Amino acid sequence: MKRAIGCIVMAIIAACGGEPVRPPQIPVTRQYTPTPVAEQTASADVHGGNTQQFARGKDIPAQWWELFQSAALDGLVRQALQTSPTLARARARLQQAQEDLSARKGTQYPSVDAKLSAYSVDVNPKSLDVSNLPVKTPLNLYLASVGVSYTLDIFGSTRRELEALQADVDYQRYELEAARLMLAGNVVTAAIREASLREQIANTEEIISLQTSQLAITERLEQLGSVAKVDVVAQRLDLAQSRAGLPELQRQLEQVRHRLAVYIGQPPGAAQLPEFRLADLHLPSELPLSLPSELAHQRPDIRAAEALLYQAGARVGVATANLYPQITLSATGGWLASNGELSGGAGFYLLGAQLAQPLFRGGELRAKRRSAIAAYDQAAAAYQEVVLQGFQNVADVLRALEADAKRLKERADAADQARRYHEITSARYKAGGVSYYALLNAQEKLYGALLDRTQAIADRYADSAALFQALGGGWWKEQEQPGAPSTQSKKSR
């Protein structure tokens, strides 16, 4: 009989403890895209048009932005990582989770409380139907006691609660790393955007200079009677339209710099920011491309989703344990004395045990357990979704790297041809060999080609930064610091 009862108890304990939570199986893949990615990208004979090679299986450096070889960019990213209020908030959330875990860990051990009480007791003898009392009143009573209580974690409720709190700590830690990765990427992307806008402004100013020179020629030809007045008016209109585009580009440039100021935790009016130009940025010639099998360990958003999955599994264990009895052991020892005479007092002790078993809760506890199971299923689906989105993110960036390299090659060639066409057309116009409208068409082609080439160059820089972000940013290689997960935590579970 005793053996049977023991077997039943062990079975209940095993049921409450549950199997270790394991992330859902993700389909194994050897490559990110349906068709293999080329070993290297196309190249163009312009700054930022060099070939990029994929270093398969190579980890991303922790400070991946250094690959752009810009001291100004490196300094700004590091400043943002130190002073950003976004990261300060994430660090505070992590610390809160750690303190919540520390506070709950105390329940693993017996609780000990000391009490000291004093009472004054006065009784009217007549109320007790006696003439006098055997003791003199009022009577002063003093009680000193120490109590110890401990709730046995037979069914794993406390252990699973601690697992849930530890999972929350892990979640906040990975959320901090995700915020760091996002912030670094935002700073790099904004710097590239600023450099692109400065190049577009320079292109616009170049076109304005050409149009201004051409207007002077057109006005002289009008004076000589070689062109009509309408050609002069058209050239002035074209020049005015080009000048009208500058304020919009300058507005966008200032807004990007305002954004950079906020990233480093400063108001736009007080921030001391460097200027970024495409010519000062180096396009990484080698792009680390980690294996698909490592992606789930590298992206902090996937690790955060995994932590939420563990937390949901632990809460199922807590809800299950709440269906079974809770046993609490207690012991109290102390000393009772009267009128301050502790030496004449009496010692005492109490030993006790309490068993609490839910009998009828209207289905509340089982409903809570079913709710916890549904929450676990939701967390599992969310984990799968985040992993798949991570693979999609990398695949999209790889295709963008290939396509934008080819596009820059064509845009650079188009810009060279547009410049040659403009030079030939301008010379023939001066000689009276072509109409003004042919010259206007050549100007428009040159302006459009220069802007397209600039955008294509900026896209290649942005694509490189996007790949580093999509692969996780190398946070696991960073030196140990408060609030950063270690390499051991990366390989855990």
Report, as an integer, the average pLDDT of 254-269: 95
Please give the pLDDT value at position 353. Answer: 83
Check pLDDT > 70 for residue 485: no
At residue 111 the predicted structure's pLDDT band, cuts being 50, 70 and 90, is: confident
Based on the number of CB atoms within 10 Å of its own CB, is 226 exposed (0-12), middle (13-18) or buried (19 or more)? exposed
- The answer, yes or no, to whether residue 237 has pLDDT greater than 80, is yes
- Asked whether the predicted pLDDT for residue 1 surpasses 50, the reply is no
Give the model's pLDDT for residue 430. Answer: 81
The amino acid at residue 120 is: S
Rounded CA-CA distance 436/211 in Å is: 12
pLDDT in tens, 273-289: 999 999 999 999 999 99
Residues 89, 102: Cα–Cα separation, whole Å? 20
> What confidence tens digit (pLDDT) does each residue in 320-334 have?
888 888 888 888 888
Query: What digits encode the pLDDT tens for the residues 299-311?
Result: 999 999 999 999 9
Q: What is the mean pLDDT of residues 60-72?
A: 94
**Mean pLDDT, residues 34-39:** 89
Mean pLDDT (whole number) for 185-209 = 94
- Among the residue ranges 1-15, 61-75, 361-375, the one predicted with the least confidence is 1-15
* Domain boundaries of the chain, sorted by first residue: 27-108+159-323+363-491
Position 410 confidence tier, pLDDT thresholds 50, 70, 90:
very high
**Is residue 92 pLDDT above 60, yes or no?**
yes
Return the pLDDT at 86: 93
Residues 27-108+159-323+363-491, CATH architecture: Up-down Bundle (1.20)
In this predicted structure, the answer to whether residue 102 has a pLDDT above a threshold of 80 is yes
- Flag whether the pTM goes above 0.75: yes
| Whether residue 139 has pLDDT greater than 80 | no
Q: Say which amino acid occupies 207.
A: I
**Model pLDDT, residue 482:** 45
> Of 178 and 342, which is predicted with more confidence?
178
Of 15-19, 120-124, 393-397, 434-438, the range with the highest mean pLDDT is 393-397
Lookup: tokens for 187: 């700073």
Pick from 36, 20, 300, 317: nearest CA to 157: 317
Nearest 10 degrees: CA dihedral of 85, 91, 97, 98? -150
More confident of the two residues 358 and 454 = 454
Count, residues in the chain: 493
Instruction: Note the pLDDT of residue 12.
Output: 42
pLDDT at 125 over 80: no
Q: What is the pLDDT of residue 58?
A: 87
* 60 CB neighbour count, 10 Å cutoff: 23
